[in-house]
Amino acid sequence: MTPPGDGAVELDGLVKRYGTAKAVDGLSLSAARGAVTALLGPNGAGKTTTIEICEGFRRADAGTVRVLGLDPAVDGRALKPRVGVMPQSGGVPATARAGEFLRLVASFHTTPLDPGALLERLGLTDHARTPFRRMSGGQQQRLSLAVAVVGRPELVFLDEPTTGLDPQARHATWELIGELRAAGVSVVLTTHNMEEAERLSDRVVIMDRGRVVAEGSPEELTGAERQLRFRARPGLGLDELIAALPAGSAAKESPAGHYLIEADVRPELLATVTAWCASHGVMTEDLRIERRTLEDVFLELTGRELRP
Ligand SMILES: Nc1ncnc2c1ncn2[C@@H]1O[C@H](COP(=O)(O)OP(=O)(O)OP(=O)(O)O)[C@@H](O)[C@H]1O
């Protein structure tokens, strides 16, 4: 067990202003060693700014930053060989050829991964001789990921590692991140993809407007409760339905024709809802019982949707 305060990343009261706007507004978080921590939030939440401060690319205006116990603004040189960075875009010179560049980066490290094998598993073997600027966006992203991990870092920062990737490339990336974790590497990633956050992370830090609005394991955040969803004709009399449900149940229609029932979902509840629909001549579609999603959690906390 890592003692408190000895995480891979420890941020306390972090503030970053651009002009008069606060991109990061008193943010504190801890990312445990050997775990995957996701910073999840909508566009403009301050995720990239936070991660760039941790990488030493930007200076904070206030607060403390510790990365592997060091201050990236001061100890950049000591951190460089221990930390892998995948920026949101670029990070590789425009004319560099994928294979050569990856081998070059590998040569700076004492026990690198095999660059050829890494290209292979990220589906880049056929593009090993392609200059970075001629690669597609998805290929560039995968090469940036390879560059971030080839030196077997203790900690990697991945800024939106799968945005824009096709499903196959996304799964290859997820698999690689899972293997990093299994090898004891600390991973801090940013995403607006809830599925990604839920599937990959030990801990999710939900950010909004430069602040942490919630954090915990995906299970802690979404809770054990189930909810019932179905589609049916718009404008059902929900007050009447709620009256038929156990006390404390809630039901809403949003958008039109999409219904959500938040209640203690047991077989009796299901029977009550379907019986109520039958007695009102309502044909339901897509009736399903599901756990709350991180999207629901975000909506509840901020009143806004996570999706851009
Ligand atoms: N160099 C900059 N100059 C001025 N404002 C900036 C700069 N970089 C970011 N911002 C602003 O700071 C806020 C936070 O941006 P940031 O890129 O950190 O958010 P993000 O959560 O990573 O968003 P996204 O998901 O869109 O990448 C935004 O309002 C953005 O417009």
Q: Which candidate, 168, 169, 172, 173, places its Cα nearest to that of 158? A: 173
> What whole-number distance in Å separates Cα of residue 17 and Cα of residue 225?
39
Q: How confident is the model at residue 59 (pLDDT cuts 50, 70, 90)?
A: very high
Compute the distance from residue 57 Cα to the ligand 1 centre, in Å.
14
The per-residue pLDDT of the chain, averaged, comes to 91
| Ligand 1 atom 29 nearest Cα | 44
Could you report the per-residue pLDDT of 143-192, keeping only the tens digit for each? Answer: 999 999 999 999 999 999 998 888 988 999 999 999 999 999 999 999 98
Could you tell me what percent of the chain has a pLDDT over 90?
75
Which ipTM score applies to this complex? 0.95
Q: 16, 43, 205: which to mutate for ligand 1, most atoms within 8 A of CB?
A: 43
C-alpha 18 to ligand 1 mean position (Å) = 9
Domains 9-222 and 226-291 share a fold: no
Pick the CATH number of 9-222 from 3.40.50.1980, 3.30.70.260, 3.40.50.300, 1.20.1300.10: 3.40.50.300
The more confident residue out of 98 and 305 is: 98
- Which residues does 63 contact at the CB level (< 8 Å), separation at least 6? 11, 12, 13, 14, 15, 26, 27, 28
Q: Whose C-alpha lies nearest to ligand 1, atom 25?
A: 43
Residues with C-beta less than 6 Å from any ligand 1 atom: 18, 23, 41, 43-49, 192
Q: How high is the pLDDT of residue 308?
A: 60
Whether the per-residue pLDDT at 206 is higher than 90: the answer is: yes
Locate the ligand 1 atom nearest the alpha carbon of residue 210 and give its number: 14
- Kindly state the average pLDDT of the residues 71-81: 94
Q: What is the pTM of this model?
A: 0.85
Q: To test ligand 1's pocket by mutation, which of 29, 49, 59, 88 has the most ligand atoms within 8 angstroms of CB? A: 49
pLDDT score, position 225: 73
CATH architecture assignment, domain 226-291 = 2-Layer Sandwich (3.30)
| Spacing, Cα 150 to ligand 1 middle (Å) | 28
Domain edges within the chain: 9-222, 226-291
Range from 91-100, 202-211, 217-226, 268-277 carrying the lowest mean pLDDT: 217-226
Residue 4 pLDDT class (50, 70, 90 cuts): low
Residue (of 159, 165, 213, 211) closest to 190 by Cα position: 159
What is the DSSP pairing of strand 250-253 with strand 203-208?
unpaired
* Mean pLDDT, residues 225-243: 91
Mean pLDDT over residues 25-37, rounded?
96
Q: What residues contact residue 226 under an 8 Å CB cut-off, 6+ apart?
A: 265, 289, 290, 291
Inform me whether the pLDDT recorded for 1 exceeds 50. Answer: no
